[in-house]
Amino acid sequence: MGLFVPTNKLHNLKLYKYSSEDHSIISKYILKKWWSWFVQIFPLWMAPNVVTLLGLFFVIANCYTFDGCDGAHARRTKQSGPLGELFDHSIDAINTTLGSFVFASVLKMGYGGLFLLSQFATVCNFYCSTWEEYHTHTLFLSKFSGPVEGILMICAVYIITGILGPDIWSIDLFELNLTSLGYDYVKVDSSIIYVVIGLASMYFNIAQAMSNVAKYYKQKEHNNEQLANKETAEAYQGLYPFSSTTLSLSFTSGFPYIQYPMIIPIVQLVLSKFLIGFYGFGTAKVLHAISWLGCGVTLGIHIIFVADIIFEITTYLDIYALSIKHKKVH
C-alpha cells in the first residue's frame, strides 16, 4: 500500500531491538511480580498483540494488567518486534484519550480550557516519551511514570470521588485578584490541585527526557563535545514541531505546505455555511449532521492509516499481526 510508511524506510525495521529502563518503585517491587505470575495464563501459541488487544476490551484493571503482560508474553514466545511496540503504544494512545474523557467527567471539567489542558498534558507526556525513545533507542520510565504512578493517581481521584461525591472538586479554595491586569476576580476550586500536580509531572518528564537525550549523545561513541551539542540541539527541535516550526514557516514563507489534518474541518465549515446560508437548513441539525460526518471520515482515515502500517510491517517482516507465524524453538 505504501500510503503512510515509505518503502525506502522499511529496512529500518530490521534494526529494531527492544530496550527499556523502568525505575518505577511500584513496578519493581509489586507490579512486575504480579505480571510475571499472570503472564503464565497466556498460551505460547497466542500472539503478544492479541494480549494487547484483549486488554483494550476489558475493564480498566484488566486492561492495565494485560498491558503489563504483553511485553512479558512477547519475550516468552520470542516474538518481540517493532510491530508489537507500535501496536502497544497505539492501544495506549486510545486508552490515554478515553481516560482523559473519564477523568474530565469525574472532575466536572466540562468542555472548556481545563479539559483541553488536561488532554494536552497527557498527550505531551506521551509524545515526549516517544521522542526520547526515538533518539536514545531505549524506553525510560521514571520513578513517577504515567503508566504506573500516573494511573494509580487517577484511580485515587476516582476513589475519592466515589466516597465524597463529585462536588468535592467544585469547592472554592480562594480567589485571585486580577483587577490590576484588567480582569475580574477568578475563583480557584479544588480541581486545581490535580492540575498543578499534572503540570508539575509533565515538566519533570519533559526535563528528564531532555536530560536522557543529551546524556545519550554525550556518551555516544566517536562523539566529541561539539558534535554532541549539535546533535542534542537538533534533537531538541523535535520537541516543538507543532508550535515553533509551524509558526516560523507560516510567518516567514506563507505556509507553503498542505496541512492535511485541516482539510476536514475546513470542508465542514464551508459545508455548514453553504447549507445554512444558501439552503436555510436549521443550524442545530446541520451542525449535528456535519459533526458526525467529520467523525466518520476521520475514523475511516484512521482505520486506513492503521491497516496500511500493519500491512506494510507484517509483509516486510513476514509475520502475522494477531497470530504467530514462525514459532520459535525453546
- Chain segment 149-163, per-residue pLDDT in tens: 778 888 888 898 889
Tell me: do 89 and 193 sit in the same domain: yes
Among the candidates 157, 186, 204, a domain finishes at 204
If asked whether residues 142 and 162 sit together in one domain, one would say yes
Report yes or no on 226 lying in a domain.
no
User: Average pLDDT, stretch 244-259?
Assistant: 48
Domain membership of residue 294 as a residue range: 262-322
Strand pairing category for 172-177 and 185-189: antiparallel
The closest alpha carbon to 312, from 35, 3, 71, belongs to 3
- Domain end position, chosen among 60, 76, 92: 76
The answer to whether 84 and 48 have CB atoms below 8 angstroms apart is: yes
Which pLDDT band holds residue 110 (cuts at 50, 70, 90)?
confident
Q: Is residue 280 part of a domain?
A: yes
Of 39, 57, 76, the residue that ends a domain is 76
Q: Write the CB contacts of 142 (distance below 8 Å, at least 6 apart in sequence).
A: 23, 24, 204, 205, 208
Is the domain of 101 the same as that of 70?
Answer: no
**C-alpha cell at position 327:** 514459532
User: Which whole number is the average pLDDT over 54-78?
Assistant: 74
The pTM of the full predicted model, rounded to 2 decimals, is 0.69
Overall average pLDDT of the 231-260 stretch: 60
Res 241 pLDDT > 70: no
Q: Do 268 and 292 fall into the same domain?
A: yes
Looking at the 3D structure of the chain, how many domains does it have? 3
Query: Rounded to an integer, what distance in angstroms lies between the CA atom of residue 40 and that of residue 75?
Result: 12
**pLDDT grade for 140, boundaries at 50, 70 and 90:** confident
Same domain? For 114 and 195 the reply is: yes
Region 216-226: mean pLDDT is 81
Report helix angle 113-136 to 192-219, nearest 10.
20
User: Is residue 239, in this structure, part of any structural domain at all?
Assistant: no
Sequence-ordered list of residues with C-beta below 8 angstroms from that of 161, at least 6 positions apart, any chain: 106, 107, 168, 169
Query: Is 56 in the same domain as 104?
Result: no
* Domain match, 95 and 193 both: yes
Per-residue pLDDT at 246: 44
Tell me what pLDDT residue 141 has: 78
| CB hemisphere CA count around 35 (13 angstroms) | 24
Range picked from 46-60, 120-134, 198-212, 282-296 for highest mean pLDDT: 282-296
